[in-house]
Amino acid sequence: MIVFDKISKTYQSKNVSVHDIDLKISKGEFITLIGPSGAGKTTLLKLLLSEEKPTSGALYFDSINIHNLRRLDLPKYRQRIGVVFQDYKLLESKTVYENVAFAMEMIGKSDAEIKADVPHALELVGLENKGYSFPYQLSGGEQQRLAIARAIINQPDVLIADEPTGSLDPESSQGVLTILKKINELETTVILATHDKDVVNTLKKRVIRIEKGRITHDKEKSGYHSH
């Protein structure tokens, strides 16, 4: 489904480059992307979102070379990918329900579709009783679960979670991981970038380690220290 074919990205500045990345991610896989800060994880994710273009190589999503897409077609492509960040990026002036509904409004979904879908998404992340709350009234774990609901409301093919447990306590982290696994069971491909050894060891999914812009380890059902 996603193929990085000899992808390299070199920056003029001292930003992290990635070199000669060959990587295949199948539909419905759960990938854990690990590596030290500055290893190139975020660069890979930006290439997949077509926020960056590779210096060489090609990146295919369902056999389409995404960096050949016209600017006009990029928003439609990006709708196929949901993104969750470490810092939530919630709309503070909107309620929990409105935060999720807004993501549907942005792509022109009808009021009827919004009314039908938002409660399901909130239930999936365990926030069905918090629809009228505002983000500041939620715990960190709940805010991250809200961010996940918003990222999946338009049923993307792929969910990217970039350090989603970075600022959470262990219990809240487990709650977020449980939801990511649930989403993956619904056949959404999940790409989780993390520093957290406990997260990786708990999941026991395919682990891809990046160091200095290169893949140094790629193993099924792996832990943080497996080689």
- The pLDDT tens digits of the residues spanning 153-189 come to 999 999 999 999 988 999 999 999 999 999 999 999 9
Supply the DSSP symbol for 17: P
pLDDT per residue as tens digits for the range 3-48: 999 999 998 876 668 999 999 999 999 999 999 888 899 899 999 9
Integer Cα distance of 9 and 53 in angstroms: 8
In whole angstroms, give the CA distance from residue 156 to residue 37.
Answer: 27
- Cα(133)–Cα(123) distance, integer angstroms: 15
With 90 as the cut, is the pLDDT of residue 114 above it? yes
- Mean pLDDT, range 53-61, rounded to an integer: 95
Residue 78 has pLDDT above 50, yes or no: yes
**pTM for the whole structure:** 0.92
Task: Please report the pLDDT score of residue 144 as a whole number.
Answer: 94
Residue burial 21-59, b: 16+ Cβ < 10 Å; e: rest: bebebeeebbbbbbbeeebbbbbbbebbbbebebeebeb
